[in-house]
Amino acid sequence: MNPLPWLLSLIMPACGAEGVRGLPVPQPMDMAAIVRPASPNTTLAGPAGFNPAPDIVTPSFPVPSTRLYAAINAVASEQPRTYPAANYDERLQAHYVVRSAVLNFPDLVTVSVSGPNGGPSTLVVYSRSVYGHSDFGANRKRVEAWLAALNATIER
């Protein structure tokens, strides 16, 4: 392992771990009850009218909820340094840990799908940093990239 994350782990323990290690297993989230921090190190994507208000508005997807859930999980599995942390398939919710390339900082990403299995379906994506005040736009860029990859796989 790169020595920089090891040194950082002396004050931020999860930086010295690999994959999902060093972080607790995420529990299911009530996405409508998210309380966002005052720091600018989170990004929330959700449908219009979602509460809390999303930074990025996601469209309604004309596919069954189980298909959308499978598609967003496939997108996540193709992302670099992204590790599944917990899947709550019965709730159509999955949690991921994404590690930064150089310093191994962990970010958490939760995806949640809702809607009838006959469609249309909606998607909420919440990406946030574990450490630090600012993320230099990393969470927003990640959510935008995941949504672009998802849109490329879902026929509209």
pTM for the predicted model, two decimal places:
0.90
> Which range marks the domain in which residue 52 is found?
48-156
Query: pLDDT truncated to tens, each residue of the chain (156 aa)?
Result: 567 666 556 556 666 777 888 889 999 999 999 999 999 999 999 999 999 999 999 999 999 999 999 999 999 999 999 999 999 999 999 999 999 888 888 999 999 999 987 879 999 999 999 988 888 899 999 999 999 999 999 865
- Specify the CATH number for the domain of residue 89: 3.30.530.20
141 within a domain of the structure (yes/no)? yes
Burial of 118 from C-beta contacts in 10 A (0-12 / 13-18 / 19+):
exposed
Angle at 47 between CA 25 and CA 107, to 5 degrees: 30
